[in-house]
Amino acid sequence: MRVFTALMFHVFLAVALPVAGRAADPAPENSAVATWQTDKSTIFDAGQVTLEEFKWIARPVVVFADSPADPAFQEQMELIASDIGELALRDVVVITDTNPAAKTEAREALRPRGFNLTLVGKDGRVALRKPFPWHVRELGRAIDKMPMRLQEIRAKQEGG
């Protein structure tokens, strides 16, 4: 009987420990967030991501238009591409949405009309809306006035 009990105990350990180990493993990294953290110049299509994925991690800048051929959209994307490093320093993730028919999560949440640039804070709140293209320099200034960004700047100064 003892041999049987000892055998059952070893079987239990062989089966239960690997399962317990798997249960303790962290959830897999979100692919959009991991991609952005690896390369902060990555620009996402709104159909690939949700705003919620980046909450408390990044500041989404969502560029909306009714078509990728919209001149305002093209100008905005050129402005972003020319200085995307400044946005990366401020933890900005760029998301585009040029298909109103797709009804993406970002479009449903932010409800743009035609061309629109929307800055969302790390807390998920809309911080800024612009119905025309905006220079990255101006966008950076607006971000640098946000309370969470001011905390980040102070922390960096104290730590560095």
Give this prediction's pTM: 0.79
Amino acid symbol at 106 = A
Per-residue pLDDT, 30: 52
CB contact at 8 A, 45 and 97: yes
- Whether the per-residue pLDDT at 13 is higher than 70: the answer is no
Question: Domain 31-159 - what CATH class?
Answer: alpha beta
Domain boundaries, the chain: 31-159
- Look at residues 96, 83, 110 and name the one whose alpha carbon lies nearest to residue 44: 96
Residue 63 burial class via C-beta count within 10 angstroms: exposed 0-12, middle 13-18, buried 19 and up: buried
Q: Which residues pair with 45 in a beta bridge?
A: 96
Q: What is the DSSP letter of 117?
A: E
Amino acid identity of 14?
A
Least confident of 3-17, 35-49, 74-88: 3-17
Residue 16 has pLDDT above 70, yes or no: no
> Distance between the two ends of the chain, CA-based, in angstroms?
66
Mean pLDDT of 144-148: 90
Angle of helix 136-144 relative to helix 71-82, nearest 10 degrees? 70
61-111 pLDDT, tens digit each: 999 999 999 999 999 999 999 999 999 999 999 999 999 999 999 999 999
Whole-angstrom CA distances from 106 to 62, 84, 156 are 8, 21, 31
